[in-house]
């Protein structure tokens, strides 16, 4: 098993339901429905269960095909650290990558691959741990490590690359995407406790994860 495959297994192939719910909300705000969804770093394909009603076709890409990948989806094997994805340009209406970019060695190379996949006017959505949450900032001050990048089982070496909001926006623009915006999952853990913030506390400080949404140039405005 390669190092990349080992890191993939550490992720266990799925993300927190709050992240999936935030992805659904973000996509419903900008996508009218239908078309092809390409899920890069798809893991077990859990995202499809919450997006099946919005899209016509699901294509998952990852280095490992996890048990339980949806029978009505299509799977493509790819090493996401290689700098290339075995998919044609403009093959998708929406490209998502949920909690994947932080596992990779070269986020700019990865984003360039994501950016070539949507059709003109299509979307790229990327989620990653939020380094500017109160949890992450307080962990950094006290432990000198971002919360999601501590040397702990299941974190390092699974999580390699910590990105700030400004990094996501810059990378998206550098890769030719337009109108990049940042959204938040509005779900986060109270520092150094197992408890979560009350639901009325929202935004950057109280969200454990951040979402980038950007558009492929062209298509209807």
Please state the domain extents for the chain.
3-215
pTM listed for this prediction: 0.92
Given a cut of 90, is residue 154 above it in pLDDT? no
Instruction: Give yes or no for a contact between 53 and 37, defined as CB atoms under 8 angstroms apart.
Output: no
Burial (Cβ within 10 Å: 0-12, 13-18, ≥19) of residue 37: buried
Q: What is the pLDDT of residue 67?
A: 87
Split at pLDDT 50, 70, 90, the class of 130 is: very high
Given a cut of 80, is residue 148 above it in pLDDT? yes
Given a cut of 90, is residue 12 above it in pLDDT? no
Give me the mean pLDDT over the 141-159 stretch. Answer: 89
Tally: H helices and E strands in the chain:
6, 7
Instruction: Give yes or no for a contact between 204 and 168, defined as CB atoms under 8 angstroms apart.
Output: no
State the architecture of 3-215 in CATH terms.
3-Layer(aba) Sandwich (3.40)
Q: What are phi and psi of 156, to 5 degrees?
A: -85, 130
């Amino acid at each position: 098993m390669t190092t990349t495959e080992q890191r993939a297994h550490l992720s266990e192939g799925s993300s927190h339901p709050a992240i999936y719910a935030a992805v659904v909300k973000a996509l419903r705000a900008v996508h009218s429905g239908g078309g092809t969804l390409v899920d890069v770093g798809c893991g077990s394909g859990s995202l499809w269960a919450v997006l099946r009603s919005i899209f016509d076709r699901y294509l998952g890409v990852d280095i490992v095909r996890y048990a339980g990948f949806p029978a009505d989806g299509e799977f493509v094997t790819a090493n996401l650290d290689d700098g290339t994805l075995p998919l044609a340009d403009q093959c998708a209406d929406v490209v998502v990558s949920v909690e994947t970019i932080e596992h990779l060695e070269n986020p700019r190379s990865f984003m360039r691959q994501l950016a070539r996949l949507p059709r003109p006017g299509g979307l790229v959505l990327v989620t990653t741990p939020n380094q500017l949450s109160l949890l992450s900032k307080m962990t950094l001050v006290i432990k000198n490590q971002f919360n999601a990048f501590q040397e702990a089982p299941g974190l390092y070496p699974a999580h390699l690359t910590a990105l700030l909001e400004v990094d996501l926006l810059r990378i998206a623009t550098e890769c030719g995407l337009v109108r990049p915006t940042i959204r938040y999952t509005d779900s986060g853990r109270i520092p150094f406790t197992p408890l979560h913030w009350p639901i009325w506390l929202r935004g950057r400080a109280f969200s454990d994860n951040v979402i980038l949404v950007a558009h492929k140039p062209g298509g209807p405005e």
